[in-house]
Amino acid sequence: MNYDILLFDADNTLFDFTACEARAFARTMRDFDIELKDGMTQTYSRYNDRCWKELERGELTKGELVVKRYALFLDHYGVDCDPVKVNAVYERNLSETAILFPGAEEMLERLCRKARIYVITNGLTQVQLGRFSRTRLGNYIEKIFISEQMGCKKPDALFFERATREIPGFSKERALVIGDSLTSDIQGANNYGLECVWYNPSGERAPGGLHITATVKNFTELEAFLKEGEG
């Protein structure tokens, strides 16, 4: 393997965030006695995605994001609830929801024998630590770097600089970022000068203007790429 350090994104790379989100959202609606109608989950997800993109662009703070996403959703459906309270319950529910992509744990178990594995995420501290604690991924991961704790976020180069300072013997030439988001993972790797793999199970076309070392659709392709160069 050409890489000693693997920096994995969490959501939609290791965790099936779409499934996690849908389960936690439905539970939250029940907690507030809000009737779950067709399309509600998708509507919330669109507002959530929009707010996270605004965060990445520096247009929102994390505190503003978590309130705005539910303020937009509740207003959309004319529901009279406090978005701060709804979000707090949702975060608790999401922190208790850990749905991994099939094969993620087995892949990390194999890879940790050849490289040190770290997680880099823009997620919320309470949510990410809660979810990871409900898996066995801690057996294979050295450390989780969470933007809320780091004081900066992907794709900022500062996030990567602060994270890699805490990785013993770190070398840019021997490190690889693996993630699904072009705007945070891949752009962040580019900003800090790291090689990167775009985890792209839907087979989207790669955009111009970004350096992408490799694109993979599944964990089998990722492991095949990592084996290249082995003696």
- Catalytic residue, chosen from 9, 156, 180, 185, is 9
80: annotated active-site residue: no
b/e per residue 185-207 (b: at least 16 CB within 10 A): bbbbbbbbebbbbbbbeeeeeee
How far is Cα 48 from Cα 209, in angstroms, rounded to an integer? 26
Q: 52 is written with which tokens?
A: 């996270």
What would the two tokens of residue 77 be? 């459906």
Calculate helix-pair angle for 40-56, 62-77, nearest 10 degrees.
Answer: 150
Where b means 16+ CB within 10 Å and e means fewer, 135-144 reads bebeebbbeb
Side-chain-side CA neighbours of residue 27 (13 Å): 17
Bridge pairing between strands 116-121 and 141-146: parallel
- Identify the active-site residue in 11, 16, 180, 185: 11
Q: Measure the CA–CA gap between 85 and 77, rounded to whole angstroms.
A: 17
143: which residues sit within 8 A by CB, 6+ positions away?
118, 119, 166, 167
Q: Is 9 a catalytic residue?
A: yes
Q: Are 197 and 215 in contact (CB under 8 A)?
A: yes
Q: Pick the closest to residue 127 from 25, 37, 7 (CA basis).
A: 25
Show which residues are catalytic: 9, 11
